[in-house]
Amino acid sequence: CIRLVITFLSPTPPGGTVLPCANATEGCHFLVYYNPDNSTKDCQQVKTASSNVHIFHGHNLLNDVCVQEVLVLPQSPASQVCLQAGSGETRCFDVPLVNVSGPDLCSNNSCNHPDGACLPDPAVGTTKCVCHAYFDLPNCLPDVCKPNPCQNGGFCQALNGTHLCFCPLGFSGFNCSTPDANPLLSKPQVTDQLGPTPGGTVTCKVNTPCQFPVYTSGDNNGAIPVVGPGPMSPDLNVTVETTVADNSTGLPGSTFLTPVVATSAVPGQKQLCVNVGNQNGVTDSACFHVIFTFDNPGPSSFPALSSTLSPDQTDDNASFASPTPPTGTTLPCANSIDGCHFLVFSKPGNSSLGCPHVTALTPKVIIFPTKSNQGGDLCINEILVLPQASPQTICLQAGSGESRCFNVPQVNISGPALCENRSCNSPHGACLADPSIGTTQCVCANYFSLPTCLPEPCNPNPCQHGGVCQQNNGSYTCFCRLGFSGTNCSMVAVDQHPTSPSVTDQLGPTPGGTINCRVNTPCHFPVYTRGNSNGTFPTVSPGPMSPEMSVKLNATVADNSTGLPGLTYLTPITTISTIPGHRQLCVNIGNQQAVTDSACFQVIFTGNDTSISPTPNSSGWTNDSAKFIPSTPPDGTTLPCADAVNGCHFLVYSESGNTTADCPQVSATSPGV
């Protein structure tokens, strides 16, 4: 015959069961059940190797079941008790010594019996209620949200025996039963009840169309607002699509949706404004921060996403559609009581699946029931982000497909409220708020200037005779070419008819300047002089100089490149030295009768390249062989300037690297030029 192995039988606790013991004096008892020996029909003794366990003599129950009483004596720390049924199965149990038993812990706990019951945890001395369906923790009171007391699609949340209704846009009151009043607007304006509200930040990818919505409220006559591009950063390309009525929320009055599409080939933060108005003009504006990056600002930048969809909600190809804000968009929320709303638009991967189920992958988000737009090809969900003290990132998923995440910081004041009293000379400028720090700035159209977008005083250029205009706090300053002066450079300098030749102090390098040269290399620089009234060329000749240098004076020629009155002459100077060091060089100026003036310069010869030129980084420099030529002062020359009002002038001479090309464009690589 086959001998059966002796095993523990039900209802013996499973191995690993924790049996708390609150009797620190006498210990605690429990029973074990097992089958008898099949050959003798006797109940074999249960054995243990634990020293603090006593096993009482067994009894043979009906239906061939043996039972033995086990006493675990009190012991600290908690003990593990292992028992063996005869020579068969072994089971082990944890028997921790606790201060209070489970029944005693639950003796004063109310769990609304029979709809709930008390579950103790003697190991830590705590209890909690376990509730039937439709009864709520912590005390198993009736579920106040069944049936839903919130009207008009409101979301019910149980709270300490009562309920709290979160209402969709357009409704308010304890049970969302009160429709909001029609604001009866006299002119169209941007709504601050649907995000992204003005002052939000939209994150986009370079060279990729970036779509986001602008919501407006119409005036009393129901006409569709006129929405168009407003002031914006110069490296933005913006398309404002057709404005349509939006009936997806319960907002009173007339709400309209305008999709905006922005693209840029240049990364960085931009400013984008749209103007809102009617046939009579602009009545409001909405400005946004737009950040373009090379990387896709997708969910990988945000917390890890995990879907909780049931099998009947799966649609791996479901996606969000325009004009849902792009992932990474910042939606500032200034409502610390009710939270803030925005809309998401989605479409199924397969039209036969119907609208995808939009789920929140992060807490503090309520998703109201799905609606279809008028055309029926898109599904719309109103999203409510509940207020939270710390900045939060919320993530949504369409079906089991695309996910998008948004930053929703809690701010003290909304963008429209910040801009309420900021004047930016609309429609030529618009107010851009930064709710995160509570500041505003103006964004100006072309030819209008910060800080308040007043007309740009330098367009058209008021400076005559080629003068350069520089705007300054709503006004302008003209920097005039040599030979002209006055507020608008309209005054022509008068020839003073000098009686003898002299050095001019209006073109550098002027006497006292420092010329930087290299040893054993010809070093060229110009000396400019003025002739006398009879038009005779000045006589320019070597003057006193240091002995360790040689000097050559090239032919003096008339110089007509400036508007200086009278006669201006250029004498190119060439000097060379084999010895490094500091030198002095003077030239004499005069006529056939005598020397009438002189010009002295510091000349420093070094054994190294004296170049201080920065490396050009402009993509507009296309003539790699273009160069400066004599009589341009050498690189590193010091040109003292004594005119603190109008600045100082000098001439540079250049040639193209290609003889067929025009003169190269000379560009300034440092400010103030």
CATH code of 348's domain: 2.60.40
Whether residue 198 contacts residue 419, with contact meaning beta carbons closer than 8 Å, is answered with: yes
| Domain boundary residue, one of 340, 373, 408 | 408
Confidence of residue 173 (pLDDT cuts 50, 70, 90): very high
| Judgement on whether residues 370 and 501 belong to the same structural domain of the protein | no
Does the structure show a pLDDT above 50 at 596?
yes
| Judgement on whether residues 561 and 578 belong to the same structural domain of the protein | yes
Among 56-60, 322-326, 545-549, 607-611, where is mean pLDDT lowest? 607-611
Does the structure show a pLDDT above 70 at 157?
yes
Q: What is the DSSP letter of 195?
A: B
**653 lies in some domain:** yes
Whether residue 340 contacts residue 331, with contact meaning beta carbons closer than 8 Å, is answered with: yes
Rounded to an integer, the average pLDDT of 58-72 is 82
Centroid of chain to Cα 113: 54
Type and span of the H or E element at 416: helix 415-418
Does the structure show a pLDDT above 60 at 300?
no
| Domain total of the chain | 4
| Judgement on whether residues 502 and 632 belong to the same structural domain of the protein | yes
| Judgement on whether residues 112 and 50 belong to the same structural domain of the protein | no
Neighbours of 583 (CB within 10 A): 21
Does the structure show a pLDDT above 50 at 203?
yes
| Judgement on whether residues 32 and 133 belong to the same structural domain of the protein | no
What was the pLDDT predicted at 529? 92
Confidence of residue 573 (pLDDT cuts 50, 70, 90): very high
Type and span of the H or E element at 105: helix 102-105
| Judgement on whether residues 568 and 629 belong to the same structural domain of the protein | yes
| Judgement on whether residues 330 and 370 belong to the same structural domain of the protein | yes
Here the contacts of 96-101 (C-beta below 8 Å, separation 24 or greater) are: 96/18, 96/20, 96/21, 96/122, 96/123, 97/21, 97/22, 97/24, 98/20, 98/21, 98/22, 98/122, 98/123, 98/125, 99/22, 99/125, 100/22, 100/125, 101/20, 101/22
**466 lies in some domain:** no
What was the pLDDT predicted at 320? 94
**480 lies in some domain:** no
Q: Which of the pair, 663 or 597, is modelled with greater confidence?
A: 597
Q: Per-residue pLDDT tens for 349-407?
A: 876 668 899 999 988 899 998 887 655 678 999 999 988 766 689 999 999 899 999 99
| Judgement on whether residues 89 and 112 belong to the same structural domain of the protein | no
Task: Read off the CATH number of the domain in which 108 is found.
Answer: 2.10.25
**336 lies in some domain:** yes
| Judgement on whether residues 534 and 649 belong to the same structural domain of the protein | yes
**216 lies in some domain:** no
**Unique residue bearing structure tokens 């054994």:** 607
CA distance 99 to 81: 20
**417 lies in some domain:** no
Q: What is the mean pLDDT of the chain?
A: 87
Distances (CA, A) of 666 to 5, 535, 612, 629, 654: 102, 32, 17, 13, 8
Whether residue 148 contacts residue 156, with contact meaning beta carbons closer than 8 Å, is answered with: yes
| Domain boundary residue, one of 95, 116, 133 | 95
Does the structure show a pLDDT above 70 at 551?
yes
Rounded to an integer, the average pLDDT of 39-63 is 81
CA distance 652 to 667: 11
Per the structure, the complete domain to which residue 29 belongs is given by 8-95
Of 160, 295, 314, 291, which is closest to residue 233 (Cα–Cα)? 291
What was the pLDDT predicted at 309? 43
Task: Read off the CATH number of the domain in which 657 is found.
Answer: 2.60.40.10
Whether residue 81 contacts residue 90, with contact meaning beta carbons closer than 8 Å, is answered with: no
| Judgement on whether residues 350 and 384 belong to the same structural domain of the protein | yes
CA distance 646 to 376: 68
Q: What single string gives the DSSP state of each residue in 638-649?
A: B-----TTT---
| Judgement on whether residues 375 and 506 belong to the same structural domain of the protein | no
Q: Per-residue pLDDT tens for 600-642?
A: 999 999 987 655 555 444 444 455 788 888 889 999 999 898 8
Beta strand 201-205 pairing with 281-293: parallel
Q: Per-residue pLDDT tens for 480-495?
A: 999 899 999 999 988 8
| Judgement on whether residues 63 and 117 belong to the same structural domain of the protein | no
**286 lies in some domain:** no
What was the pLDDT predicted at 373? 65
**265 lies in some domain:** no
Q: Which of the pair, 667 or 207, is modelled with greater confidence?
A: 207
Question: How much of the chain, in percent, has pLDDT values that exceed 70?
Answer: 91
What was the pLDDT predicted at 307? 45
Does the structure show a pLDDT above 90 at 498?
no
Q: What single string gives the DSSP state of each residue in 380-393?
A: EEEEEEPP-SS-EE
Question: How much of the chain, in percent, has pLDDT values that exceed 90?
Answer: 53
Rounded to an integer, the average pLDDT of 256-284 is 95
| Domain boundary residue, one of 372, 392, 408 | 408
Whether residue 39 contacts residue 3, with contact meaning beta carbons closer than 8 Å, is answered with: yes
